[in-house]
Structure formats: structure tokens, C-alpha cells
Amino acid sequence: MEKSEISSVKKQFDADVKKLAGDSLSIEAISLLRNSYTGKDSQLAKLFKELGTLDSKERGPAGKELNVLKQHIEESCQLLEEQYIQHKAMVDDEKQDIDLTAPFATTKESLERLQSQGASNPVSEEVEKMLSIFRTMGFHIFEARELDTEYFIFDSLNFPPNHPARENWDAFKTAEGLVPTPHTSNMQVRVMRYFKKPPVRAVIYGRCFRNEAVDVVHGHTFHQIEGLYVDKGVSVADMIGTIKAYLEAFFEQEIVWRIQPSFFPFVEPGIEFMVRCIFCKGVGCGSCKHSGWLEVAGAGMIHPNVLREAGIDPDEYTGFAWGLGLDRTILQKNGIKDIRSLFASDIRFLRHDV
Ligand code: FA5
């Protein structure tokens, strides 16, 4: 493999990126570009295959260069996506003819209406407490991105293209091909890359959206707290201990919890944390859909492919991740029986009248 072959792929890629900038930029075009440079039939894939035919002296440096090029392509595509989203938001703002600088009405009626607003939503009240528990454990806090690309939501998390597991997330899609994120795991690879190298201790809070059959414990919009801990020698025991310590601190009372095996493509092994329903104490009632238990978090040891995608060597480091459903734990802690009350905008609920 000639060095010039690698630099000519880079040159061609950079030229294609330049061509895309401006009006021809779209999510589909970026996705096509990414596929044509990193997909199975790409020149890059061919060069990676050729690595095996090189002698051992040449293989190391050539492999390094190819990885640098792969990262360059990935980062440039990500940057293009961010540019596109910003550009689109600006254009949409310009199209609106609402005067955002208009002053508040100050009539007597409007002031009365303002004063009669309710209390803050339990989610806003509890989120601060939740984040501060993780802060005292030494985690850095980040906010999740709500509208994202399939790459961060699925591909970067070890979901093969068109794999049926994607359907478990019931994701929506916008006309531009973006996805209102169905889980905060879309931040995993991004945040690990942000730290550059372990230790990574991060907690990410955000809203999630799913095309869900809504019921007492399922909202179409809900919140998750994602957690990541990567370092040398991190174990399953660390994972269980951390989540258990959090749940005990959050509930401020003894809770009965259990774990059971589960499958998520981005962890191995995967588990689910269940909390015994505080309303029926495990007997079964309407609030726990008669199972006696509520699933409050998915978790597991981060899959080596995900660590690799984030530029972390899985032979050197291990880590765990979790995705905790905030709303369900808030229901249980505050004795609220139906998740829909959190988002119904019923002023009587916010005033604690119902
Ligand atoms: C996930 O979303 C994974 N991303 C979690 C994860 C992260 C696993 C990191 C491993 C490592 P799941 O779909 O089970 O998994 O959702 C996680 C939690 O979010 C659930 O336990 C539940 O508490 C909450 N949740 C899921 N769907 C809803 C919904 N429609 N309404 C309210 N809460 C929900």
C-alpha cells in the first residue's frame, strides 16, 4: 500500500466536503458521503483489507494512518451535520414573523394570570436533586442532544445497519432524516470522545421521544439520565454498587430492588434494574401494570466495539453505562400514579390540588 494512496483518498474526501458546503448540504448528502468513504465498498475499507497483506513492519504505521483518516472523515461528517442543523435553525427562525422582542402585556388581568400560575413540575424539582447526587459521586454533568443523527443513536452503538433491535426504540424521524432521540445513549460516544482518554466519569441528562403506546408508565416524551464510567479495571460490581447507591440516596427511604439480565447491543452483559412498586409493595396494582415491579434503568458493561468507536482501547480499559428513566422513579418517590400527569399541563396537579 502506497502512502500516496491514503493521502489521495483524503484529498478527494476534502474536495467532496467542500463541494457539499452551501445549499447542496443535506442530511442525506452527508450520509451518502460518509457511506461512500467508510462503507463496505469504500476505498478506505479496501485499504484496511490490504493491511493484512503488509509485512509486520509496515502494518503498524499504515494502520495508524488509516485510523487517523477514518477519524478525520467521521469528524468532518459530524461537523457538516452540526453546520447543517445550525443553518436550518437560522433559516427557520428568519421565516417566523413573531416579534420576540415584544413586551409582556401589563394589564391587571394578565398580571393576575401570571400570579396564579402553579408550582414547578416535579420533574424540574427532582432533576436537580438527582444530578447533585451524581455530582457528589464525582461525575461530570452534561446535557443530552434532543435531535440527532442515526449514527450517534444507533450506528455508533454497535447496531448493525437495518438490525431489528433498532425497532425496540420506537424512534420518530423528521422529514430531513434526523431523529428525536429515543434514549440518552446517543451521547455515549460523543462524551467519551470529549474526554479524549479515560478516566471518563459522566452523567448526561435529557429528554427522549418514542412512538409509544402511552399508558401509566409509558410516555411518548420522558427523561433519562445516562451514566458512563470508564477506567482501568472497572467491574460489574462497581456498576451495581453505583446504581444502588444512587437509588438509595434518591429515594431517601429503603427500597426493594432487583436486577435481571437484558439485551442492549451496546453493552455486554446487559441488565435491568427493577424497583418494587411502592404502591402495592409487590402484590401488583394499576401503577405497576400488575407486575409488582417497575423497570427503572437499563445498564451494562460497555461493548468493546463502542469503546473502539470512541477511540478507547478495550484491551486496556473497561467501563459501564446506564440509562435511568427519571419519570418512573419520580412517580414512585412522590406517590404519583400515572406518568401522563407529569406532562398534562393540568394546573391543579402543579398546585398539588389533585
Ligand atoms: C434504553 O433506553 C437504554 N439506552 C438504556 C441503557 C443505557 C442500557 C446504557 C445500557 C447502557 P430502555 O428502553 O429500557 O433502555 O429505557 C431505559 C429506561 O427508560 C427504562 O428502564 C424506563 O425507566 C425508562 N423508559 C423507557 N421508555 C419509557 C417511556 N416510554 N416512558 C417512560 N419511561 C421510559
Domain span at 80: 3-96
Say if residue 173 is in the same domain as residue 318: yes
Q: Is 206 helix (H, G, I), strand (E, B) or coil?
A: strand
Say if residue 89 is in the same domain as residue 186: no
List the one residue out of 86, 15, 109, 2 whose CA is nearest residue 47.
2
Domain presence at residue 101: no
| pLDDT classification of 354: cutoffs 50, 70, 90 | low
Ligand 1 lined by 222 (C-beta under 6 Å): yes
| pLDDT classification of 25: cutoffs 50, 70, 90 | confident
Ligand 1 lined by 325 (C-beta under 6 Å): yes
The pLDDT of residue 227 is: 98
DSSP states along 156-195: GGT--TT-GGGGGG-----TTS-EE-SSGGGGHHHHHHHH
Say if residue 170 is in the same domain as residue 313: yes
Residue 83 has pLDDT above 80, yes or no: yes
Counting residues of the chain whose pLDDT is more than 70, the rounded percentage is 92
**What does the chain come to in residues?**
354
Å from CA of 176 to ligand 1 middle? 26
Say if residue 156 is in the same domain as residue 61: no
Residues 262-272: pLDDT tens digits? 999 999 999 99
Say if residue 69 is in the same domain as residue 196: no
Ligand 1 lined by 267 (C-beta under 6 Å): yes
Say if residue 262 is in the same domain as residue 220: yes
Domain presence at residue 109: no
Domain presence at residue 81: yes
Residue 194 has pLDDT above 90, yes or no: yes
The pLDDT of residue 285 is: 92
CATH code, domain with 238: 3.30.930.10
More confident residue, 78 or 320: 320
Å from CA of 323 to ligand 1 middle? 6
**Strand bridging mode 267-276 / 293-302:** antiparallel
Say if residue 155 is in the same domain as residue 260: yes
Å from CA of 330 to ligand 1 middle? 14
Domain presence at residue 115: no
Q: Which of 185, 320, 343 to mutate to test the pocket of ligand 1 (most atoms within 8 A of CB)?
A: 185
Q: Whose CA is nearest to atom 12 of ligand 1?
A: 298
Domain presence at residue 263: yes
Q: Whose CA is nearest to atom 15 of ligand 1?
A: 298
Give, as one character, the DSSP assignment of residue 199: -
Q: Whose CA is nearest to atom 31 of ligand 1?
A: 218
Say if residue 132 is in the same domain as residue 275: yes
Across the range 212-228, mean pLDDT stands at 95
Ligand 1 lined by 338 (C-beta under 6 Å): no
pTM over 0.95: no
List the catalytic residues. Answer: 169, 183, 210, 224, 267, 321
Å from CA of 325 to ligand 1 middle? 6
Ligand 1 lined by 321 (C-beta under 6 Å): yes
Q: Which long-range contacts (CB under 8 A, 24 or more apart) does 76-84 make?
A: 76/13, 76/14, 76/17, 77/30, 77/33, 77/34, 77/151, 78/151, 80/17, 80/20, 80/21, 80/25, 80/30, 80/33, 81/27, 81/30, 81/149, 83/21, 83/25, 84/25, 84/26, 84/27, 84/30
Residue 82 has pLDDT above 60, yes or no: yes
Ligand 1 lined by 227 (C-beta under 6 Å): no
Å from CA of 231 to ligand 1 middle? 24
Say if residue 71 is in the same domain as residue 174: no
Domain presence at residue 103: no
Determine the Cα–Cα distance for residues 80 and 92; give it in Å rounded to an integer: 18
Say if residue 44 is in the same domain as residue 79: yes
Residue 225 near residue 130, CB atoms below 8 Å: yes
The pLDDT of residue 87 is: 80
Residue 240 near residue 226, CB atoms below 8 Å: no
State how far Cα 34 lies from the chain centre.
21
Q: Say how many C-beta atoms besides its own lie within 10 A of residue 302's C-beta.
A: 28
Say if residue 84 is in the same domain as residue 208: no
Number of domains in the chain: 2
Domain presence at residue 236: yes
Say if residue 37 is in the same domain as residue 139: no
Question: Which residues on neighbouring strands pair with residue 228, listed in sequence order?
Answer: 202, 321
What's the grid cell of residue 328? 418512573
Residues 119-156: pLDDT tens digits? 788 898 899 999 999 999 999 999 999 999 999 999 99
Domain presence at residue 106: no
Helices (DSSP H) in 196-353: which residue ranges? Answer: 236-251, 304-309, 326-334, 347-350
Residue 322 has pLDDT above 90, yes or no: yes
